[in-house]
């Protein structure tokens, strides 16, 4: 009986050790979520399709048109959200990291975003009531994430944790919550749930939140940036990414392709600094 116990302990140790070996400490994973500007509204261009293979995306949905199957890793050639979305801040976030991190470090992103949604869609305890009242054009996108974008984000993150280490969370959302003073607290609820559900430490997993289209570009939701600016008062390990000077589309709601490149690069530069690296590019 004692011998059997020793064997069981050995097998448990071996299983744990194999899991540890399977996880690459030099594979940095980042969770991205939000609404249409995180989804990617502008069409990507030829220059955006040349990608270092060290930059990877964990596919969130099945995309036959891209030859991708959900739950699998691919080189992060856009689109990085769903099958027919555009360029997103995540594109140039990842490019900025791999261009400046040591060559043995890979970067992986997960992008779960739904155009037009409020932050309430990612509230794991109350999302169902939000989905029930959502317009049909939005529910179609939500269904691609099995009806629960937050749950799908967590599911993908757990898959990613078998391969690498989650180093940060990126958010771009707020247009649909414009002038909602409670937004920082609502974001904190989502952030805290992610930390809890994925067994993450707040001190080692920062939240980076981008401003919406800036007033200097005529942004129609730019008043929301004063509320976004308060996020670090609610989440100590959070950082606001400026959208100043990032050009937008004709609707003054979404960035254009160049705006996404600029904003994504700023996300990347901030994350590099938090990781202890310097980059040659300027914000």
The verdict on whether 222 is a catalytic residue reads no
Residue 6 within a domain = no
Residue 10 within a domain = no
- Find residue 33's DSSP bridge partners: 112, 171
Pairwise CA distance, residues 187 & 64, whole Å: 33
Residue of 24, 36, 136, 222 marked catalytic: 36
Residue of 136, 199, 251, 282 marked catalytic: 251
Residue 177 to residues 44, 165, 185, 240, Cα–Cα distance (Å): 27, 31, 12, 16
Residue of 172, 176, 222, 254 marked catalytic: 254
Residue 115 within a domain = yes
Residue 157 within a domain = yes
Model pLDDT, residue 279 = 84
Model pLDDT, residue 3 = 52
Pairwise CA distance, residues 160 & 148, whole Å: 18
Give Cα 40 to chain centroid, integer Å.
12
Residue 14 within a domain = no
Pseudo-torsion of CA 188, 191, 195, 201, nearest 10°? -70
pLDDT in tens, the chain (283 residues): 455 444 444 444 444 443 444 689 999 999 999 999 999 999 999 999 999 999 999 999 999 999 999 999 999 999 999 999 999 999 999 999 999 999 999 999 999 999 999 999 999 999 999 999 999 999 999 999 999 999 999 999 999 999 999 999 999 999 999 999 999 999 999 999 999 999 999 999 999 999 999 999 999 999 999 999 999 999 999 999 999 999 999 999 999 999 999 999 999 999 999 999 988 644 4
Structure confidence by residue, pLDDT tens digits, 106-159:
999 999 999 999 999 999 999 999 999 999 999 999 999 999 999 999 999 999
The verdict on whether 254 is a catalytic residue reads yes
Residue 90 within a domain = yes
**Other CB atoms within 10 A of residue 47 CB:** 8
Residue 19 within a domain = no
Q: How many structural domains are present in the chain?
A: 1
Output the domain CATH number for residue 152: 3.40.50.1110
Pairwise CA distance, residues 36 & 125, whole Å: 23
Model pLDDT, residue 138 = 98
Range of the domain at 128: 24-275
pTM: 0.91
Residue 152 within a domain = yes
């Amino acid at each position: 009986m004692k011998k059997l116990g020793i064997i069981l302990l050995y097998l448990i140790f071996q299983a744990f050790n194999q899991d540890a070996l399977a996880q690459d400490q030099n594979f940095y994973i980042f969770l991205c979520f939000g609404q249409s500007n995180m989804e990617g509204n502008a069409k990507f261009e030829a220059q955006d399709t040349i990608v270092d293979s060290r930059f990877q995306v964990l596919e969130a949905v099945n995309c036959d048109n891209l030859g991708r199957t959900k739950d699998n890793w691919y080189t992060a050639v856009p689109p990085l959200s769903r099958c027919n979305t555009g360029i997103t801040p995540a594109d140039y976030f990842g490019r900025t990291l791999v261009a400046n991190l040591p060559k043995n470090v890979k970067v992986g992103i997960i992008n779960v975003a739904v155009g037009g949604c409020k932050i309430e869609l990612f509230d794991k305890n109350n999302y169902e009531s939000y989905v029930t009242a959502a317009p049909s054009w939005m529910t179609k996108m939500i269904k691609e994430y099995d009806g629960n974008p937050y749950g799908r984000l967590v599911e993908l993150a757990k898959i990613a944790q078998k391969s690498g280490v989650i180093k940060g969370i990126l958010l771009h959302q707020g247009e649909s919550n414009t002038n909602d003073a409670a937004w920082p607290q609502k974001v904190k609820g989502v952030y805290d749930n992610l930390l809890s559900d994925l067994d993450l430490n707040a001190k080692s997993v920062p939240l980076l939140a981008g401003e919406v289209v800036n007033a200097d570009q005529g942004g129609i939701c730019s008043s929301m940036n004063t509320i976004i600016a308060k996020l670090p008062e609610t989440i100590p390990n959070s950082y606001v990414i400026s959208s100043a000077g990032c050009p937008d589309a004709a609707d003054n709601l979404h960035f254009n392709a160049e705006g996404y490149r600029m904003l994504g690069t700023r996300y990347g530069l901030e994350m590099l600094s938090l990781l202890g690296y310097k980059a040659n590019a300027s914000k």
